[in-house]
Amino acid sequence: MDEQLQKVLSDLTVLNEQVRQGEVYQSLGPRLGQIMDGIKRHRRTTVTLPDDQDGVKDVLTDFRHQLDQQVPVTLPNDQLRLLLDHLASTDAELRYQGINFTFYDAFQQDALDTQQLTFILDELLRPEALFAHILEPTNNAVFGRASRVAMLGVVLHFLDQYGNYNDVDKLHQAVLLSAAYLCLETDTRGFVNQSGWAHAFTAIADLLAVLSNSHKLPRAEKLFLMTALMERIKRLNTPLIYGENDRIANYLAETTGRSGLYADALVLILKNWRQQVALNRRPDNIGGWNRFFNRKRLLDALRLRQDLPKTLKAYLSSTIDFLG
């Protein structure tokens, strides 16, 4: 793994433990922001895409056939791995309509056993795939990154339905990798011609919603992830305009509705964000204006929610001002 990625994971592990021990609370946002701001981006390198003529379509057909027959899936691990590797394909029909939907159908039909789901989870948590080319300018590796994040959320959701699945260490690993993903990912593209949906920030919002809903994770982990998401959004220099704000608002509403701790923390984050924006009311570059309107769109999406905690709703009502 890249040395810088290792350092980010190491720093997040230390900070996460401090949050879990109650040593860090109000300074969590700035501390996460320091990690993000310290990341150095790389120059572009060649993205190696999977070969869609390597037999994956035959494996997908066999997978689909087993589901249509409503029998347990018997694909060996190497074939499951092959399918997951092709989540990085730029062929939208194969990646999205084929592999994604077929796996989702398998989960819905309960056609995969716990061992298979655990194997899939381990594959999705591989950092070298999850963070492929993530420090470089926008590139085609985003399809694999975002697809893995999206499926990770689905797998964790279905594993949570198994009452006998209690691998807390694996959930903690998912938390740290999700936080690292938020520190590293900056590709905000939605739909890409010829390649379909990238939607990295929709994917990560959905994953955070699943983790937030888990009764096996302590509140500190959920607070850690919510704060990481907000610190990343503050720093995005490109627009979120493909429905991400609605999905993020949904996640924030559900999370803050579970405990006053999250609601108070989010209000604190929003207050600090407003103060930062007030210092630079009129940006002089496109990145600054994108940050300005990303904030406005997210606040607008939150104000439309009818299920916000009173403290959050009161704050949002009091800040309809010229800052957006």
Q: What is the pLDDT of residues 127-147, one digit of tens each?
A: 999 999 999 999 999 999 999
Confidence of residue 161 (pLDDT cuts 50, 70, 90): confident
Contact in structure between 175 and 16 (CB atoms under 8 Å): yes
Confidence of residue 164 (pLDDT cuts 50, 70, 90): low
Number of residues in the chain:
324
The sign of the dihedral angle between the CA atoms of 182, 186, 192, 194 is negative
Q: How far apart are the first and last CA of the chain?
A: 41
What's the confidence (pLDDT) of residue 163?
66
What's the confidence (pLDDT) of residue 324?
46
Angle, alpha carbons 143-146-150 (nearest 5°): 130
Residues 6 or more apart in contact with residue 225 via CB below 8 angstroms: 175, 178, 179, 182, 208, 211, 212
Closest C-alpha among 172, 228, 223, 224 to residue 201: 228
Residues 6 or more apart in contact with residue 309 via CB below 8 angstroms: 256, 257, 260, 263
Give mean pLDDT, residues 295-310. 97
| Helix and strand element counts for the chain (H, E) | 16, 2
Confidence of residue 302 (pLDDT cuts 50, 70, 90): very high
Pull the structure tokens for residue 84: 């997951």
Instruction: Decide the pairing of beta strands 196-197 and 191-192.
Output: antiparallel
d(CA 248, CA 270): 14
Which tens digits make up the pLDDT trace of 25-49? 999 999 999 999 999 999 999 999 9
Q: 50-55 contacts: CB < 8 A, separation 24 or more? A: 50/85, 50/86, 50/88, 50/89, 52/86, 52/89, 52/91, 52/94, 54/82, 55/82
d(CA 64, CA 41): 40
**Amino acid in position 231:** E
Report the percent of the chain where pLDDT is more than 70.
98
Q: What average pLDDT does the structure give for the chain? A: 96
- Examine the pLDDT at 245 and tell me if it is beyond 90: yes
d(CA 104, CA 117): 12
What's the confidence (pLDDT) of residue 281?
77
Which tens digits make up the pLDDT trace of 256-298? 999 999 999 999 999 999 999 988 878 999 999 999 999 999 9
Which tens digits make up the pLDDT trace of 201-221? 999 999 999 999 999 999 999
Specify the higher pLDDT residue, 73 or 324.
73
Closest C-alpha among 90, 93, 100, 141 to residue 120: 100
Contact in structure between 176 and 226 (CB atoms under 8 Å): no
- Examine the pLDDT at 74 and tell me if it is beyond 80: yes
What's the confidence (pLDDT) of residue 172?
97
Least confident piece of the model among 9-23, 105-119, 130-144, 155-169: 155-169
Pull the structure tokens for residue 175: 């938390």
d(CA 183, CA 37): 9
